[in-house]
Amino acid sequence: MLLLFSFTASATLANNRIPLPDTLTIEASAAPIVVDMRPYAATLEDVNGTLNISQVVHQSFSQNKDLFHANPRNNKRQNNCWLKFTIHNPGNNMAYWLLFAGWHDFMYWYVQSPTDTPKLMMQTGLMLDRGGVERWNHYAFVAEVPPHATRTCYLHIVNKSFNESPLVATLYNTNAFVKFQNTEEEGYRKDSVVILVLLGMLLVFFSISLINYIQLPDRSYLYFALYILGLMLFFALRLESKPYQLSFFHRWPMLKYYWNIPALLFCFYLMYLLFGSTFLNLKSRYPFMERVFTWVAAAVGGLIIICIYCIAEEQYHLPTIIYGYVYFGTLLPLLIMFIALARRSQHHPLVRFFLLGSICLYLACLGSFLLHVRPLGLIGALEELSAPTFLMIGGILLQAMFVLAGLSYRNKLVHVERTRTQEMLIKQLNKNKELQRKLNEQLEELVKEQTTEILRKKQELEEQRKIQLETEYVKKLTEIELKAIRAQINPHFIFNCLNSIQLFVMQRDFEYAQKYLSDFSYLIRKTLDFSRRNFISLADEITYLNTYLGLERMRFENRMEYEVIVDPGIATAELEIPAMLLQPYVENAVKHGMTNPKQSTGKLSVRFKQIASDMLECIVEDNGIGISRSRALRTLPQHHQSSGMEISQNRADLLNKMYNTEIQIEIIDKYLRNDEDSGTLVIILIPQL
């Protein structure tokens, strides 16, 4: 304890022996034009940041040479200090001097005459100055000393960032300061030219990505455009750190702090992970890596919000610490990811472009960090992770070029795949046309065979002239006629379907073309199948009508709505009805239901209801122009009836004769019942055998 007391006392006495700086006595015409003010600077550290100028003038100042430094330095804390200068002018002329202490976050300049209180003459700072563009002279504080007078000046410096810019104290006359300004400006001009050239190149990359995204809406282009946009804002804000520059954002000085560390997290992690996941199509190729990318991107998004909150709370060192952990924590995982992607690059050519660009950026950022370790130390280098060096700029440009080359190659692959798909659809369309031709030939041959059979049977019955054979002949004749009627397909419907398929192919809507083609093939097969049967189940009829109405709705481009409603009590799989009895009425409802100019959307309803234990009621209703209006618009005779509806009526008559049934068909024009209503109502009653 005694030794400790002796050491403390000796250190205290040694500190007390440091004399306070003397008054600087200098004339305006004196030979020295540049004066180092550190020997004349009295210092006071305000650790709590609670002192104001009225309190400072009564405080005891000392001399602390360690406060000054000619290079950037990490203080490991915020710096709040006061500098006191006393200048005496023994000459007969007014002395005009400029004091330069460096560029800091907040700077306040006070001047005090011997008989007055200190006055705030000027305030500036990288976080404070919001006015004007020419910022250089704002950091040179004017010290005017009248003849044979003494002035005491106070400079209050506040640096809230742990990494502090050089803190010096130099007094210049006007000519010397202009020379100093020109020398420094020449050095900064090179950096600004590099940044402006880089901004121009990034603008070109951004324009290319945006144009390609408009032409081909691919999220890869969108993510890369956002990545380039974030870098453009980051480097544009770097001009703000050069006080003499014409900064793009000089009216918002704090923006460069809000978009410093968050910019690196946003560009190099968040956007790059989202871009890589989409560009490499990890979801289908490497699902595990895609999940890792998604989780990391979500975590980085949360860190960006935390960093912005810390900056808003003036905790500027916390985002740097967070980014340091992220940077060093991802070095090894990134290296592992590069190795994993390199092993798959032979099977996936796009991996090569992504891998080469990522490695260039990875090595450039690592080299940029290592360049700062030697002059600043490890802690100081962490604070300068966001400082753009020439090595980092080169890595960004190489990475962007590799990515753009990969996107171009990806466009080529997409174009080749689309061309191949289009050729396959064209071949399929040709096969369908050939199928249609064969189908028409089969139908013609079927009709010819049936006609020959009818003539033969008729001749045989005429020769035999017997009642039993005549009855059998009539029954057979009726059945053959029924099959011939069922075998008829509306050629206009087939032509419209093929035209719709051709239109979808020409519009490159391959998904709709494939869907339309599949449903049309199903409809043709079912038509041929049903033509061989007299009765089918109600479930098959409903499926057939749904397929047909779906094709019609696609052909009318969703300007048609339909619904098929079945009474829940009906056993559709067990109940049988005549094959294709309803289709002509549904087709007629579609034809006239879509041509009503008063209705923007055609609506069709098909309802099945069991009105009795042995009677099924089928209702086909549309909101078209109706029967009477349709006849008024046509040039056909008033007594003309749709061929499809006439065929169905003939079938019903034949079925009534063959099976002694009472199928009833009633067609109602809704306009005749109500002038404000329009459309047609078809009611079909089918008794159960």
Check residues 493 and 443 and name the one with the higher pLDDT.
443
* Alpha-carbon distances of 19 from 40, 127, 209, 376, 638, rounded to whole Å: 11, 35, 65, 32, 123
341-386, pLDDT tens digit by residue?
777 766 677 778 888 888 888 888 778 777 777 666 666 666 666 6
- pLDDT confidence tier of residue 563, bands split at 50, 70 and 90: very high
Model confidence at 471: pLDDT above 80: no
- pLDDT confidence tier of residue 80, bands split at 50, 70 and 90: very high
Could you give all domains of the chain from N- to C-terminal order, each with its CATH number? 24-172 (2.60.40.2380), 185-421 (1.20.1070), 511-631+642-687 (3.30.565.10)
Name the phi and psi angles at 242, rounded to 5.
-105, 105
Question: How much is the average pLDDT of 626-638?
Answer: 65
Contact 375, 166 (CB under 8 A): no
Report the Cα–Cα distance between both ends of the chain, in Å, rounded: 120
Instruction: Tell me the three state secondary structure of residue 473.
Output: helix
- What pLDDT is stored for residue 376 in this prediction? 64
Model confidence at 36: pLDDT above 80: yes
Q: How many CB atoms lie under 10 A from the CB of residue 420?
A: 10
Model confidence at 10: pLDDT above 60: no
Question: How much is the average pLDDT of 251-268?
Answer: 84
Highest mean pLDDT among 5-19, 27-41, 296-310, 320-334: 296-310
- What pLDDT is stored for residue 12 in this prediction? 38
What's the CA gap between 345 and 332, in Å, rounded?
20
E strands present in 101-194: 106-112, 119-124, 140-145, 149-159, 163-164, 170-172
- What pLDDT is stored for residue 619 in this prediction? 93
Check residues 554 and 203 and name the one with the higher pLDDT.
203
508-530, pLDDT tens digit by residue?
677 877 888 888 888 888 887 87
- What pLDDT is stored for residue 158 in this prediction? 93
Mean pLDDT of the chain: 80
E strands present in 363-489: none
398-429, pLDDT tens digit by residue?
888 888 888 888 777 777 878 888 888 888 88
